[in-house]
Structure 1
């Protein structure tokens, strides 16, 4: 009697943010691929295929090895959605360029995000957080935490740093949501990108006349940057600077409200940095991964990747590597445990393209979460029986709203 060979699992279709069994874990398409191997085939929604890299060490290799390119203009570069690759290539930021252009543009804003520079903003960030809580509590005994706290705090901080008027927040928040949406069509995304580029370009022109102590003013003062390069850099920092941290604050608060024992660790200043690292590891809100394209043949995880092949490095599955994060005495790697040593996580990426703003994000999260739970010890979910509305239609995972009371 002969056995029938098992058919291989179909290649996952990327991105797959809607397909979830747990809102805090990577979509099953990614975790199932990780079980099949550290490097597997996948399909993009534009009809192309790519390699899905899910293993921790393999992801680090893709993100640090110069044989893999971050240049969205190169043939074979993965496009998560139809037309997105072309839009990224039309107005590239330094995250979508290789050296030397990547380094040339990135180092012009590096100093603004150094740890010592960011730490000097601690009093300003603390004031922004306190004032947001003051406004929220003055309005009544309940609120939508996303609208009243999680979104305003990082928006105010990045506006302060960039020199963007906070009163324009509705414009850039709405446009940002379109840019990271998985349901907006190509024309909508192109229009949002164009409007935000025009807005930032116009603001940069104003800075030439009335400069301030901000990033845009310092970029405008240089003579080696075009207006388009300034606007593209501003777009990257503005969108990434509020969108990611806002989502982290909202999701982290929800997790901690559901597990008060862990939330208590935020009261210990010595434990606070480690707690934030574990939240970053566990949530890894860029669930869609980071795209790259191979510049030459590379053997990775026992698989030969040919030059010109697209690759997607999955941060979320890498951050659930049992060998790295399965610390004895802690919860399983797919669960939150603020006592875990999560310092080697890849939530900010790895290599030369590692997130420029990570010192700022860490500080904002530490101050926002610790202050929120200290000042509102009675904070609770307003509707604990109802699952909150998650942003499954976004390339960056988050919450649409979080009703709370105190």
Structure 2
């Protein structure tokens, strides 16, 4: 790695991230059914119909996993709390086993000198609420606010920071328009409602957090660098629309109280009645912004398609195991753009950045030189953004562990720690060791 801690401002936080359903093992501890359980049980939705019932068995192995973080000289752990583990029916009866688990988890994080960065929701909608329409139901904000009160009442006194939601574009557009994630819908009316209600749920949760006196509250958004595939007006328009849907819809609502007009034109007639009245709840101050970044896409017009009528062209850059172009400059682009156009001097955290690769254990070790370069180059991109004035306060690699990669099941490995899903043996990869060495410097 071509950096040390001395290259970053004092107090800069290095960590790794995970998500509840992807690692915990949802069949343990009284957790309720989620729409991912039923989505995975439906033929053709998930690789080999795999689900998160066992995952990485983090529910039982969290102490060892946290030791891996500490031994890598990390400062913080970004984790999520499962709605369906805490409230198996989404509302009503609390699962005390679930609360006890997160209580133990936070205490164990702190015992290792790590800072707990919590995300309230990372995609596991309780099935009972999915039956009522999930993110398309206008009451989902209240339901989410009630969950916020329950979980924060147990662990809110000890977490360093809390994010309301992770990647609302995936929650709403990827899941209700493209149908790639649970609940697997392909309906523009459902999409328009989910795109608005997920923002409203963020706003309601922020109100609940503020009422509790909770400090250091934010949200985690994912950003995808949409660039024109060529120099045509149609390609520029396609890139702008993709940027509007993927990026500006959420950051503009949260920081400016508006939606991009180019996207509203497509959602016209499908938005919830009176949506304008919700913008004040959505547009309230946050303390920090989480930035998830993985790749870029080269966009052009798709004349054969209905709105949004855009498509991604092949990118000549090297690709990850997800076939995503490796483009570190995109991370610098967003960190500086967000600072200049949306949040000013507000603290930014790179809350996810990582890559999948076809990793194998050979003689007890995992060589992953492409990932080593990927991590190094993206951390240096964050450093460059700081030099240009972005108030970047931390960097979390995605992910600590190989895990359940949603519709890709266990086929894609993002971790800096290899997981053998049959034995649950953890093997730190070469990237883990390289990062640990870099972070040991000047600690």
Scaled by the length of structure 1, the TM-score of the pair is 0.27
Q: Whose RCO is larger (CA < 8 A, sep 6+)?
A: 1
Structure with bigger strand share is 2
